Amino acid sequence: MTTILLTGATGYIASHTWLALQAAGFDVVGVDDFSNSSPLVLERLQAIGGKPPVFERADVCDADAVEAIFRRHRIDATVHFAAFKAVGESTAKPLEYYSNNIGGLLTVCRAMRRHGCSRFVFSSSATVYGDPESLPIREDSRLTATNPYGQTKLIGEQILRDLGAADPAWQTACLRYFNPVGAHESGRIGEDPRGIPNNLMPYVTQVAVGRREFLQVFGDDYPTPDGTGVRDYIHVVDLAEGHVAALRRLFDAPGSFTVNLGTGRGYSVLEVVDAFARASGRPVPYRIVARRPGDVAACYADPALARELLGWQALHDMDRMCADSWRWQLNNPRGFEA
Ligand code: WQD
């Protein structure tokens, strides 16, 4: 069997990827320190996947702990999710973001090299494109970071390019996620932001369920069809399948690659609000407020390269993204809180 190490394994995208890897026939070893996720995810994964998860509790910045994991398990490839990911928080806490996001990556790569493991999938982000010069965004578009979080993704990608240039044994896949939303159809795992959600979809679900009074729409004076921000929302299950396809290519073909994982379709904030109201049957009251600093008008992918290299494309539409987000919210009013 082929064994995949998943770091940040009990997080939102990683937990869905865990299920997709299992279904694809891979063995999985999950690692997390629960700094931004719940141990309850492990029970849910067993309930859905039917197998007791192989899990190691560890901070990926702890070199001794990571070394011990590589000694206990024969790892064939690593999918590295473990990182802090809040744009606004990164501006307030740059030292924590660089230490954790870059330090964790380096620690994992050093352990991999010691153990002859050289296939690596990196969780990157469309945030590396900054304010896109043209749309849809291709992988060879200009790269720029407007916040420390985005810088950690740019630096991470550069580290992996340099690793591959120094030693062709390294095969790396940088996956640039657009806007992940939705949840597993079971409603048993999903996005569980702590405190007030930064992102649109979890905020909308909390308004629809009555946990928040109304949605603040950050600006309606953007150069977009209805004036509100346009983004490429992608179902988290499609995103998970993109990781499986990327790993298969790393095992089946030589070389490294960087691809967008998006649908190629942009939706405005108000279009998401309308779609969610239809999917949930609930009103989503909102108020137009000032733009959020750092937001761009529009951002959506050209997904052609992932289709060409990986034979992968997103399959779930906005109605499904909203229906699955709503089911998760209804089934878990307080997320993974015990
Ligand atoms: C989407 C749209 C907002 C909340 C961020 C990170 C990115 C990635 C995904 C990690 C925008 C509007 C939002 C609200 C609103 N994360 N909005 N009211 O900013 O595109 O991307 O999350 O990799 O790196 O930057 O996502 O969901 O925050 O915003 O009007 O309460 O919804 O202005 O147009 P974003 P988002």
pTM, 2 dp: 0.98
For ligand 1, residues with CB inside 6 Å are: 85, 87, 125, 127, 177, 179, 198-200, 203, 215-218, 229, 231, 269, 292, 295
CA dist., res. 332 & res. 206, Å (int):
11
44 CA to centre of ligand 1 in angstroms: 27
Superfamily classification of domain 3-182+234-262: NAD(P)-binding Rossmann-like Domain (3.40.50.720)
Q: How far is CA 291 from the centre of its chain?
A: 24
Instruction: Using the mean position of ligand 1's atoms as its centre, give its distance from the Cα of residue 269 in Å.
Output: 10
Amino acid, res. 254: P
Nearest CA to ligand 1 atom 9: 179
185: exposed, middle or buried (Cβ count in 10 Å: 0-12, 13-18, 19+): middle
Q: What is the pLDDT along the chain (338 residues), one digit of tens a residue?
A: 999 999 999 999 999 999 999 999 999 999 999 999 999 999 999 999 999 999 999 999 999 999 999 999 999 999 999 999 999 999 999 999 999 999 999 999 999 999 999 999 999 999 999 999 999 999 999 999 989 999 999 999 999 999 999 999 999 999 999 999 999 999 999 999 999 999 999 999 999 999 999 999 999 999 999 999 999 999 999 999 999 999 999 999 999 999 999 999 999 999 999 999 999 999 999 999 999 999 999 999 999 999 999 999 999 999 999 999 999 999 999 899 85
Exposure b/e, 154-170, CB count within 10 A at least 16 = b: bebbebbeebbeeeeeb
User: Is 149 known to be catalytic?
Assistant: yes
What's the confidence (pLDDT) of residue 338?
59
Helices (H) and strands (E) in the chain, counts: 12, 14
Residue ranges of the domains in the chain?
3-182+234-262
